[in-house]
Amino acid sequence: MEYFPKDFLWGAASASYQTEGGVKEDGRGESVWDTFSHTPCKVRNSDTGDVAADSYHRWREDVALVKDMGLGAYRFSIAWPRIAPNGGTDWNPAGFAMYDGLVDALLEAGVQPWATLYHWDLPQALQNKGGWQNEDTARAFGAYAREVAEHFKGRVTHWFTINEPQCFIGMGYGSGEHAPGLRLRPEDQLLCWKNMLLGHTLAIQALRGIDPSNVVGLASCGGVCYPASERAEDIEAARKRMFARPEGFGGFSHHDLLDPLCLEDNPGKPDFIGLNIYNGIAVRAGENGPEDVPYPMGGPRTAFGWPVTPEALEWGPRFVWERYHLPLYISENGLSCRDWVALDGKVHDPGRIDFLHRYLLALSRAVDAGVDVHGYFQWALIDNFEWAEGYDQRFGLVYVDYATGRRIPKDSAEWYAGVVKSSGGAL
């Protein structure tokens, strides 16, 4: 049985500050994450992204890993402060060099580059002027998008403007757990939200203006609800709850982002929706309306403590597709484990294989139900800096020995390669 169409896009993802290191090289400016991670008590173990997985120097190895796994696409992000060290329009040509090498090597390997313009490393210079509270940041983002689009014209055709606005605003400007570490009043967070929407729209216009064939979306996150049973009442309850709850990340949910953007006449309407889905909440029809079903005591949890709920990867895409009718990509999904190198020199991660197996089977049910989902990016290609959790959470298909930068594909990398090769048939 074939679970996924032959042209389904199989990929893996990463992000600049989480993997690159090389923070002082080739004229890169400071980002809010440099400042934040170097502030005492903000990141576990005082970890920073100074070196990370050293992909700034080892990107050739990363491309080889992608190629060995037979992936069709690699999603990476461009560090804004490498291109615009001061946040303005004094472009830094040297900042493009590494991405030029990466993009060309991917193309040569037959792998489609999917670039994210903003995965949270805001130039510190812009934060000094208010960051996303200041409309100028949105305008600067639009100008940066134009510069990058011009530079990669004809080589990169698939783009994400912004990764997880819900999270970077909710945790960066709301709870203060992420850079820039602010705890703003709700109305000030809303100002960030408004400027983020403007920034996305200016970026999408710039990308399309430079090359109308550019395909542009953004990666959304937020609470996913799934029905506690197959009963029609529970399905309806889950659907309602998913688009009614002020979920997670300071109250910003998928529909806060997608409802305004996906209106027909909105110039920021994306070509596709990227969904970052890691887990969800079971919902049933209660006497007084939809109600959450408590997660079972002792139920499976990731190293992060997140519940393991594969159903989220079926019902999240189903509900989003029904509401917006735009092509979908799973732009992130994966598991953090406490992986280590075994005595045989390999990294055995049966938990990750089981997790991915369950989640991909769930996704196949969405595909089977007619949801227009075109691809899946596993988070992450390699172990990396997990923001406030530092290096304690390992999400990679490939293990990174941070002391040496050495990469060791985990068992899950081989398993995923089999899934990709068989277009899901091996599931």
Catalytic site positions: 164, 332
The nearest distance, CB 13 to ligand IFM, in angstroms, is 8
Q: Which is nearer to ligand IFM, 15 or 105 (CB)?
A: 15
Residue 20 engages ligand IFM in binding (rule: CB under 6 A) = no
Q: Select 278 or 324, whichever has its Cβ closest to ligand IFM.
A: 278
Six-digit token pair at 24? 């002082």
Among 9, 12, 15, 335, binds ligand IFM (CB under 6 A): 15
Q: Which residues pair with 292 in a beta bridge?
A: 283
Q: Least Å distance between CB 167 and ligand IFM?
A: 7
- Residues of this chain, 315-374, that bind ligand IFM according to CB under 6 A: 332
CB of 393 to ligand IFM, least distance (A): 7
Q: Contacting ligand IFM (CB under 6 A), which of 386, 398, 400, 419? A: 386
Q: Hey, which residues between 109 and 168 contact ligand IFM (CB under 6 A)? A: 164
Residue closer to ligand IFM, measured from CB, 214 or 279: 279
Closer to ligand IFM by Cβ: residue 73 or 285: 73
| The one among 76, 379, 391, 416 contacting ligand IFM by CB under 6 A | 379
Smallest gap, in angstroms, from Cβ of residue 423 to ligand IFM? 26
Smaller CB separation from ligand IFM, 276 or 378: 276
Closest to ligand IFM by CB, 12 vs 206, is: 12
Nearest distance from residue 356's CB to ligand IFM, in Å? 15
Least distance CB 119 / ligand IFM (angstroms) = 6
Of positions 55, 116, 276, 279, contacts ligand IFM by CB under 6 A: 276
Number of residues that bind ligand IFM (CB under 6 A): 7
Residues that bind ligand IFM (CB under 6 A): 15, 18, 164, 276, 332, 379, 386
